[in-house]
Amino acid sequence: PAGSPPAPPRPGTQRLPQAIVVGVKKGGTRAVLEFIRVHPDVRALGTEPHFFDRNYDRGLEWYRSLMPRTLDSQITVEKTPSYFVTKEAPRRIFNMSRDTKLIVVVRNPVTRAISDYTQTLSKKPDIPTFEGLSFRNRSLGLVDTSWNAIRIGMYAVHLESWLQYFPLSQIHFVSGEKLITDPAGEMGKVQDFLGIKRVITDKHFYFNKTKGFPCLKKSERSGLPRCLGKSKGR
């Protein structure tokens, strides 16, 4: 309304992320993001921006404009699991900042492939069987490594691209299995890697027997328990 005082400026600054969850698809990346954003020193982008794979031509200022506002004491985090298998992503992230901390969530590659397949199956029910897609020759035991669900899980192949630009000390691996059995322990290591105080502990989690996964007792903005969506943990 005319004559009303201007709204006070929002605190903080939009910064490029200092840490990125770069992979791996169906490994538990959403869980890591939801768990770490409970920390008061972390602000995370909730959606996947796909900047370093699909939207790179929009430029760094566009990317920065998506980020949440942070105070000087806070870390900005984003996650896009497809970065891990994108050939250009390591170089592009390095060109943004060679100090970027990278988080990779891995799990048993066979379990990961089955989870990937079930996600595709839920959208395309007429695809061939898992066995049909995963073998070039079943009787000889020849696996089809060109099938994306298998290829993503060949972690060592993709890691070579990252190690051309980043030392292992800047890459933290989270166990997708331990994230289920000991979420506080795994998140403790993530907090250490990010250089922030261990605030997220056992008191933040409870095990949901129906889903078979740990859930947050308290989400970032409400006092209500928070579990991951129904598309997780198929």
Closest CA to 233 of 105, 81, 84, 114: 114
Which residue range is the domain that position 42 belongs to?
16-109+168-227
The CATH number of the domain where 37 resides is what? Answer: 3.40.50.300
Closest CA to 29 of 106, 87, 99, 135: 106
Tell whether residue 115 is among the known ligand binding residues.
yes
Tell whether residue 15 is among the known ligand binding residues.
no
CA 200/CA 135 separation, integer angstroms: 42
CA 119/CA 117 separation, integer angstroms: 5
| Inside any domain, residue 156 | no
| Inside any domain, residue 194 | yes
| Inside any domain, residue 130 | no
Q: Give the mean model confidence (pLDDT) for residues 190-198.
A: 98
Is the confidence at residue 135, as pLDDT, over 80?
Answer: yes
Active site residues: 26
- The amino acid sitting at 216 is L
- pLDDT tens figures, 11-30: 899 999 999 999 999 999 99
* pLDDT score, position 10: 72
* pLDDT score, position 220: 47
| Inside any domain, residue 159 | no
Tokens standing for 234?
């198929």
| Inside any domain, residue 40 | yes
| Inside any domain, residue 163 | no
Tell whether residue 107 is among the known ligand binding residues.
yes
How many domains, in total, are found in the chain? Answer: 1
- pLDDT tens figures, 91-113: 999 999 999 999 999 999 999 99
What is the model's pTM? 0.90
Tokens standing for 202?
């056992």
Tokens 């129904």 -> residue: 230
